[in-house]
Amino acid sequence: MGILLVAACVILAGCGGRRGGNIAYDPAGFVAPDAPDLPIGNLEYRLGVGDVVSIYVFKVDTLSGDQTIDAVGRINLPLVGPVSAAGRTTGEFEDDLERVLGAKYLTAPKIAVTLKSAAQRIVTVEGSVLQPGLYPIGAPTSLLKTIAMARGTAPEANARRVVVFRHIDGQRMAAAFDLKSIRRGESPDPIIYADDIVVVDGSSTSKTLNTVLQTLPFVTLFRPF
């Protein structure tokens, strides 16, 4: 607990509308996150936009293969056309396909559906923003767009210090970014990935960052030395 409190103090050092703290700004090692584990073992996982499923139709190779669920939650199956998939478990989707193909094209079809890759779709935005919360993203986005999803920074926000937490090489990493410099075009707008946690500094942020630090199993701070 003492270590967590020290880390919280390190992060929170330097409030008052300026850069500060021992988290490095835009470090080179803050790369894309680790690939997520597939929730294949979770029978209740609901398919969503961007997920890739492998469809195997017994003895019908032309109907078998990988399919990506499109922006409206469907896959395009040969002979049949668009079939809704989003919101269904793989088992439910198998039943749907067997019913559709069995109605017109095949006699008692046997179909297996497995999740090949899952598109993570949530980014967490906390701290001094107008609407903190969990926000869905279909693909990697930018920090500015992420803050915009949370309705922008709050009046008391320190826009010069935004901390992003990310899982890299098996550890939780943190990096700081300066929104003012980004908005002026002086610094690049970093990419934000699903499962990132974005915390905007400000006078009311101490409790939020403390909670984040206690929730995460381990945090490695990028230091400028």
What is the tens place of the pLDDT at every residue in 131-163?
998 888 867 899 999 999 999 999 999 999 999
pLDDT for the residue 49:
79
pLDDT for the residue 5:
30
pLDDT for the residue 48:
83
Q: Cα-flanking dihedrals φ and ψ of residue 181, to 5°? A: -65, -35
pLDDT for the residue 180:
95
pLDDT for the residue 206:
55
Q: What is the pTM of this model?
A: 0.59
Positive or negative, the Cα torsion across 75, 78, 82, 87? negative
pLDDT for the residue 14:
43
Q: Give pLDDT < 50 ranges for the chain.
A: 1-15, 218, 223-225
pLDDT for the residue 169:
85
Q: Helices marked H in the chain — which ranges?
A: 2-12, 90-104, 143-149, 179-183, 206-215
Please name which of 126, 128, 139, 115 lies closest in space to residue 40, comparing C-alpha atoms.
Answer: 115
What span, in angstroms and rounded, lies between the C-alpha atoms of 100 and 203? 57
pLDDT for the residue 195:
83
